[in-house]
Structures are given as structure tokens and as C-alpha cells.
A and B are shown apart, each in its own frame.
Chain A
Amino acid sequence: MAGNPGKLTAKVGKTEIDVPKTVRDIRGIEDLVKDAIEETWNENLVNQIKVWLTPFAHANDIAEWDSILLERYPPLYTNTETRCSDCYQGPCDLSKGKGVCGIDCDTYQAKLSLLTACKGLASFVSDTRDLLEYCVKKHGIDAEIKWGLAMTYGYMNTLAISGQNLYSLADVNKVLSYVEGQLAELLTAASHGHDCTVTDLESKVFHAGSVLLAAMDVAEALRWTFFGFLWSGDQELLDVKDYPKPYTQVGLGTVDTDKPVLVFVGNDFVPAYEAIQFIKKNKLEDKIEVCGVGSVGHDMIRFYEPAKLLVTPVKLTKLLRLGIVDVLVVSDSCCKSNMLEEAAKTDTRIIATNFKQSFGLTERSFDSVDDIVKDLTEDLKAVLVFDKDKAGEIAAKAVQKVKGKRKKSYLLSANQVKEQASKCDGCDACFRACPNRIISSKVILPAKDGDTSKLAELCDSSLFCGKCEAACPQDIPIMDMILASSSEEIKEDNVRMRAGRGFISQLEVRDIAITGFNLPGVVNITGCGNYPGSDKDVGWLTNEFVDSNLAITVTGCSAQDAARYFNEKTKKFIFEQFPSLYNPRCLANIGGCSSQGMPMTSPTYKLGYLGYRCPYKATFEMLSDFMIKWPAILILWGPATDVMYTIAAAHARSSIKVIVGPHGSNFKRYLTGNKYDRSKWWSLHGLENYKKEIEPLPENLIYPVETKEEAVALTYKMCMGFQEFETTRMGKFDLWLNAYKKWFGKTMPDDWHLFVKRDVELPFTKKAKMLRLLAEEHGFEIDKKRGRITKFKHRDGRMLDPGEIVEEYGMRVGLYTTFLSRLVYKIRADRLEE
């Protein structure tokens, strides 16, 4: 203890801080708080604002920030459910008024939103708890967590929300216990939410997201510390640009079906890890094809180079019906309920390894490996084995014996395809049921005469969800017809990508901080493959951004779809073409969707500290308040899970703008702003503490789009910040307007004039036209000869000089701004006397 005996103080320079007064409840974490202040605050700052930390934050600790966001971006509920049966007095029809408990329809939607977020959080936390228990069992609770060469500050999501860093498994346990405690509270609020407001409940949805990212940090730390995952945090920076090499094979055409094919699906990689240890120990690497689907696939390629990625989990039915899988090892997530039924069609054996997806099977961990392998080899189609070590060994052994004992082929013959097509009566029930509107009688009927080309075209774009088959009154096996017609397409499905590299280093963030002033934006694309259009669409998006000098990262199954982009000029796949850095014009695969804490929030917090000395331990609100100006966009292209919903909330709360692609439209809630309502667009002058009107930026926090072109145009717009340099604004303007020119009929956005504050921000090639339109359509006064704006029209109708508009509309660069009044700089009374 420093300073007065008996009084806990932290010392920052010459200034002493009374530690218990910096938190809501010191509750036995005195040392953590004291260290956080002394390590991350500087003397100027502690003298200008009240030192306030939120260690192991409760939702309510961040509520002030949440309410600011939710006031500007009020939740817009979709897919609404109006019948509430949550209590014994129900059901109540909320479309006609309040329920008996007093809950209204919007509040009920907020409750459901929180429930979804809790489900997303719970599914990940329970997996992480499993992983932690496994690590403790193998290595002991005091085992050290690795940091690697390039990690200076620690695990940022964990630090921002809890203040706790990860040095050992005991620390991991502390953080995970905190997350589990929060989950219990949030779930309780979701059950009793009729007492809350929409803002209360949505604040808790945000919180579920924030603690989810902390859990993701934990999982990432365990993965690379104890399982040897690829980890760029342990590489020299010069090596990272080509780390890892783009050796990972992706696609159905990569599988050598002459070998036994062992496929893992789900979220738990440990059975795969154990199977691979067995395979390596017995030198079976060349004898068994080891493949993955979904999160586990993206994990496997980070510790086993020969592993292959097949399809995105949405297309699991496609994989099973092709009949190339001998043994499928299933954990949880990324799976379908009808997997046993689908696997039975091709005699694929299933090993379930998780109680969350146990298919009603009897657990057999206490039986011998050889007995279980024998049963699987003979006629048993599926087993349940919780013991992960044993499940891995069984998988590796069984796959060798099952090979050759399964049905040779499930695929339809050419004649069978014709027969099935002739049953079609043209009712188009398949079309009406298809989420992508791609299958119809016009596609099926030509196959009657042997023309299967239209069916083959769907191999790439069909989700293989099976809704068409379920809707068909003639019971035509439409998915089987597509597969039978697509042998060439499947053979050619063979691309290259880089496996996930994990951590983004401080040095890369430093680079971004320097280039950031002219950087159009940083974008992360993630999702589950649940979108209309081609598998190559994510690659198209990725290429568009990287080609426009944005810094691009990909995570989850989006990475394997991005990998499909092939540049015909350079004859390279996109991962072969661009360096693997967190830098402009670079493309880095970070890892599976469970690595989602790494690419966006973590570097953003680092940037806050590196660039602006914003403390990063237990200071979630400060970091998010600061970073709202940072051009960071998360694109959820084809999300399909509750975890993705929670991830969206997590990023929005951290000021990272989220764009959701089509079919992400099953989301229950968006956060949308109204640019016309000027009362919503303000920021506090950080020195003088008054509200200033700003441009309507960022216009939305979570927003759905319909097409990939809309996603690109909106990304460029959402990258614009209300406080940026002239050249930066010019570059973003240019990208945004070019997108309209390319894809939207050469039109201009209807609101571009709202973002004009200086004529030097207008892109050179468009300046003449923009000046003309400003004069003709928006009431600005222009000096045509000099090509200058002489009078700007403020949104309130006043005509202002160039100097005045900058002062009255928006924030000039360099000025300290905030949304939180407690963060306005105040000069201490004693300083004033000095």
C-alpha cells in the first residue's frame, strides 16, 4: 500500500488515487484495481477525469454507455412473436395490448432477444468450460498460459471487461467463473424481464456479447497454450506476412476417397486432437483422410497441416449424401438434428462425443476401445462416447475398418434422375419453399430429357437445406438429383487457403495506428455460409475490400468461402495473393468463429491504448466511447447460430458497426439510426462539456443488407467517422460514390451532401459534379471559377462560411470528444489555483 497507512492508494506519477473510490464495489479485488490504475493510467489523465473502473463488470456497470447507444440506435424488432406464454397466467396476445403482467410487445421482443443472446453465450461457455476442465486434468490448475513473443498487454477482451489478465489456468478459471455468473444473471433477467424496459434488456444483450468475447479469449489462450495451435503472436513480425503458408486444402474435390475418410463436425476439437495424436503416433498420416466441417475444421487446420476443410456446416447434408464420409465424429454446434437419419442413407458411422448432441444414444465411455470399434465395424451405426481421448482413438481405428464395408454409392444414376424428373408436375412448391428461390420446375423438368445442366448449376448455390424436398408433393429427391448431376463441379471444388493465424500483434496495430489516418477501414467477415448466391460471394466481397486498400480479416466458415476467389489474371487464389497481415491491402485468416475475439475488438482496444493512451484494464466504456470513430466493420455473411447473434451484440457495444447479410435476416433485432432526426446526432465537446451536432455517423450499429453490393457500399459509408482528416474523408467518399456508380445505376446516394464540411474533402474526379449538385439541389453557394464552396447550408437552414460550418457541424480533428459526461476533461481546482 502506498501513501497513508491503512488507506489503499494507487500512485500515478506524483498523484495518489484512493483505490476503493474508483470502483462500485472493491469486493476483494484491491490488488487488481490498484495494478490496473498504476499500469495503464497516466498522470495527465488521472488529473483530468475521475478514475473509474468496472472490474468483472456487471451489465449495470456499462449501462450508461449502453443507453447512449440504444437511444441513438433504438432496437428495431423483426420476426416478432406476439403470443407470450412465459407465465402461468398466459398466453397473452401482445399484438392487442399489454399482457397480464404488464409487458408490452416490444419489451417481450427484448426478452426474446436476451434469451437468444444467452443461448449463444451458454453454448460457447459450456464448450469452454469443457476445454478448461480437460486442460486442468492434463496439466494442473497452476499451469502457465503462454503469451508468445508479440503479446505485450495480454488478452484484451478479458482485460477490458474484467481487468483480469491470464497467466495461469487458475486465472482462466476466475474469468470463466465470472462469465458463467454473468450468464446466470442474464438468463434470470430474461425469465423475469417483464419488470425491465427495452433498454434494460438490450443492455443485457450487449453484456452477454461482451462476456462472450472474454470467454473466446479464454478459449483461444487454451488452444494455443496446450494444443499447439498456429499463433502469430509467437512469430517474428517479418515472418507473419506469409504465416501460415496457404497450404490448407478446401473443398469436396480435395478428398482422396480411396482412403478411409474421417470427418469431424461441431465445436469441440479435442476428440479430433486426440485422433490426430493417435494417427501421428502410428504413422497413419498418409493412410487416413482427416477432414473437418465448421468450427472444429477451422481448429484442426491450426494444429494438423494435412487436415482438409470440406463444406460449411449449413451444407452438411450435401456432404453426407455424397457418401464420401466413412466415420463422422460429432460434438455440438454446426450440426443438424437429422444427422443420424442422413448418415444412415450412406452407412456413414457416427461417433457422438458430447452430451449436448447425444442423439438419444447410450454413453459407452466405460467400454473398451476395441469393443466399440468392433461394433461400429459390424452393424452399429452410431455410438456415444464422452471420453474425448477414447473417442479420438475409436475414430482413428474405426475409420480404417469401416472403409469398404459401407454401401458403395447412394447417388442416383442418370436414368434415375430422368425418372424422378418425369414425376414433376410443375407446381413449383419447391420454388416457394426454397429460401434462395433457385429451384423450380424449370430446373427439374429439362432433366426428363437428360439435360441436367440447370441442376448442376445449383451445386454451388444450393444450401441443401432440404426444404424443397419436404415441400414436393411428388416426393422428388431434389437434392439427390442435384448431387447426381454435379460430379464435375464436385471434382473441381479444390481451393487453397491459409489456416487461422490467431492473435494480432501490437506491432501490426501500431502500423494501423499510423496508417489509420488514411485507412479507409478495417473489415472482418464471418458467418456460417447461410446465404443466397454462390459460395464464391464471400470471396468477391473480400477481394473488393482488399483491392480498395482496406485491412481485411476473415474468421469462421467465411474464411473457406473467401478462399474460393480465384484471380484469373494472377492465377492465384486470394490467400496466395495477399499478405497475411492486419494491414491495408492484406488478408488475414484469424481462425474459426470461436476466435472471434481476436480480429476486431482486441486490436481496437489495443489501438485505443497505443494510439491514444486510453487505459485498457476494466475500462470498457472508455474504450468503446473512444473507438466509435474508428472505421471498423464486422460483416456477418450468412450467420446461422445464436452465437453469431451474441457476437453481433458484442461488437456493436464496442462501437464496431455490424452489417448482416441476407438470411441473417432471421435476426430478431437490428440497431438502426434515423439520419433525419437531428436530435440524435451529437457528441460532447470533450473540454467544454456541451453537445455539438455531428454528421449522422455511424448511421447504424447493426443493419441488414440484401445484396453483396449493398454490403460493400454500406461498408464504405459506415467507415466514415464524424471526426477524420480531410484526405481520409475524401478517400472514403470516393469509394462510397464509386460503389453507387458501379452497381446502383450511376446514381448518387441521397444523403451525401450531409457529409460535406470542406470542399477539399470532395474527390478530385467527382468534384465538379458534386459542386454543381450542391448548388443546384442542396442550396450551397459555389464559386465556380475557383471550384470552391463559399457558403455551406447547415441542416437547420443557415448559410455558413467555411470556417463556421466546421465549428458548428461535426468535430474537427484533434478535438477531444466523448459521449459520456464523466469523461469530459476537468481541470482540478488546485490546478486552477496554480
Chain B
Amino acid sequence: MSATAVDIAKSLKDKKTLLFTGALCDTLEIGGKKLLEYAAEIAEGAGIPVAATGNTIAGLVDKNLTTKKVFAMDIINYMRAEKWEEPLFKEKPETLAFIGYYPSFLNMMLTALGDTKTVTLDNVALEEATLSPPDLNLDDWAKFLNDVIGELKK
């Protein structure tokens, strides 16, 4: 469902949210900075841990975040287990948020999650996600992410 920056920020503030950072966080630059920088600011603002997938841990490890290198499908797989044991999160997360994924990879994860609440932060409106931004061009996407960060800081 297409959502506003306010809606998304509100959802991210839920302390049972886990943010996934995907491979495109390392390669995409919008509004003059890397997508990974936005991701880090969002995680910091929301106070949520980061599941660093792809190679994104390299750019996050020195930041003041709760994070570790994970393989994306591991977490998706653990979400279906009866007992949650992944130490990155004390209990099973209720919301999974995603930023910086190839569309097919993102679709793969979202469709495997069933009823779990999902939030995407890429610039495409997705039916498969519970909340996602509307279709945006690159400049508006950067603005949207800055708005989310602004809301989180409030």
C-alpha cells in the first residue's frame, strides 16, 4: 500500500521493527549521498537494529548501530520457525523494513513472508508490501527519505 513519509516513520518507530539493507545501498547515490547513509540515519532515528545483507555491513560496522552481516534469506527463513533464536533481535520482529534491493530479490522476500507486516523504502509502490512509498523519481525519493528521517527525529 502506498504510504506517506509520516506513515512509514510511524511504523518504523515500532521497536519490534528490523531494517534490512540490501546490495543497492552500496551502489546507489541519490540526493548527493549513498543510499546506505539514509539507511543508517533511519535505523539510528528509529532506534532499530539493522540486518546488513549483501556487502552493506562494511559501511555500517563503524556506525553506532545494532547490526551484523546476515544473509537475507536466513532471516526470512527464521521468521517461519516456531521458536525465534536469531540473536540480532531478542524476539521475533513484528515488522520487517527493506531498503536497497533489486526488485526481484525484494519481491522474493516479501512473497515469502506471508502475513508479516512489511515496509519498503525504495521508490516503487508495491502491492506485496504492507507499506511502501508511492512511485517516485530519484530526487523525490531522496526527499521522501529525508522526510522519513525528519519524522523519526521528531
Inside 8 A of B70's CB, which chain A residues have their CB?
750
Q: Could you tell me which residues of chain B, from 106 to 154, have a CB within 8 Å of some CB in chain A?
A: 107-109, 111-112, 123-124, 135-139
Asked if residues A672 and B137 are in contact (CB atoms below 8 Å), the reply is: no
Choose one: A428, A663, A705; the contact of B71 (CB below 8 Å). Answer: A705
Whether B11 sits at the interface, judged by CB under 8 Å, is: no
Asked if residues A745 and B112 are in contact (CB atoms below 8 Å), the reply is: no
Instruction: Mark interface residues in B23-63 (1 if CB within 8 Å of A CB, else 0).
Output: 11001100000000000000000000000011101111110
Asked if residues B58 and A706 are in contact (CB atoms below 8 Å), the reply is: no
Asked if residues B102 and A436 are in contact (CB atoms below 8 Å), the reply is: yes
Asked if residues A744 and B107 are in contact (CB atoms below 8 Å), the reply is: no
Whether A665 sits at the interface, judged by CB under 8 Å, is: yes
Q: Could you tell me which residues of chain B, from 56 to 76, have a CB within 8 Å of some CB in chain A?
A: 57-62, 68-74, 76
Q: How far is the CB of A227 from chain B (nearest CB, A)?
A: 37
Asked if residues B105 and A750 are in contact (CB atoms below 8 Å), the reply is: no
Whether B91 sits at the interface, judged by CB under 8 Å, is: no
Instruction: Mark interface residues in A691-716 (1 if CB within 8 Å of B CB, else 0).
Output: 00000000000011111011000100
Stretch at the interface among A71-79, A147-155, A395-403, A782-790: A71-79
Inside 8 A of B72's CB, which chain A residues have their CB?
704, 706
Query: Which of A78, A674, A709 neighbours the largest number of chain B CB atoms within 10 Å of its CB?
Result: A78
Cα–Cα distance between A542 and B23 once the two chains are bound (Å): 21
Asked if residues B68 and A750 are in contact (CB atoms below 8 Å), the reply is: yes
Cα–Cα distance between A667 and B108 once the two chains are bound (Å): 8
Cα–Cα distance between A666 and B105 once the two chains are bound (Å): 8
Cα–Cα distance between A437 and B53 once the two chains are bound (Å): 17
Asked if residues B73 and A704 are in contact (CB atoms below 8 Å), the reply is: yes
Inside 8 A of A431's CB, which chain B residues have their CB?
123, 137-138
Q: Could you tell me which residues of chain A, from 22 to 60, have a CB within 8 Å of some CB in chain B?
A: none
Q: How many residues of A contact B (CB 8 A)?
A: 44
Interface pairs A-B: 10 shortest CB-CB: A745-B61, A428-B137, A676-B85, A745-B58, A665-B108, A78-B108, A706-B54, A672-B77, A78-B112, A744-B69
Please, which residue of chain A has its CB at the minimum distance from the CB of B82?
Answer: A677
The tally of CB-CB contacts under 8 A between chains A and B is 123
Whether A435 sits at the interface, judged by CB under 8 Å, is: yes
Q: Could you tell me which residues of chain B, from 2 to 39, have a CB within 8 Å of some CB in chain A?
A: 22-24, 27-28
Asked if residues B105 and A706 are in contact (CB atoms below 8 Å), the reply is: yes
Cα–Cα distance between A427 and B136 once the two chains are bound (Å): 8
Q: How far is the CB of A704 from chain B (nearest CB, A)?
A: 5
Could you list which residues of chain A lie within 8 angstroms of chain B, going by C-beta atoms?
76-80, 426-429, 431-432, 435-437, 440-442, 532, 662-663, 665-667, 670, 672, 674, 676-677, 703-707, 709-710, 714, 740, 743-747, 749-750
Please, which residue of chain B has its CB at the minimum distance from the CB of A677?
Answer: B81
Asked if residues A662 and B23 are in contact (CB atoms below 8 Å), the reply is: yes
Cα–Cα distance between A721 and B48 once the two chains are bound (Å): 36
Asked if residues B55 and A709 are in contact (CB atoms below 8 Å), the reply is: yes
Whether B94 sits at the interface, judged by CB under 8 Å, is: no
Inside 8 A of A77's CB, which chain B residues have their CB?
111-112
Asked if residues B59 and A745 are in contact (CB atoms below 8 Å), the reply is: yes
Inside 8 A of A437's CB, which chain B residues have their CB?
24, 27-28, 102-103
Choose one: A436, A440, A714, A744; the contact of B58 (CB below 8 Å). Answer: A744
Inside 8 A of A672's CB, which chain B residues have their CB?
73-74, 77
Inside 8 A of A532's CB, which chain B residues have their CB?
102
Asked if residues A76 and B73 are in contact (CB atoms below 8 Å), the reply is: yes
Choose one: A432, A666, A747; the contact of B123 (CB below 8 Å). Answer: A432
Choose one: A80, A436, A667, A740; the contact of B69 (CB below 8 Å). Answer: A740
Asked if residues B60 and A745 are in contact (CB atoms below 8 Å), the reply is: yes
Inside 8 A of A750's CB, which chain B residues have their CB?
68-70, 87
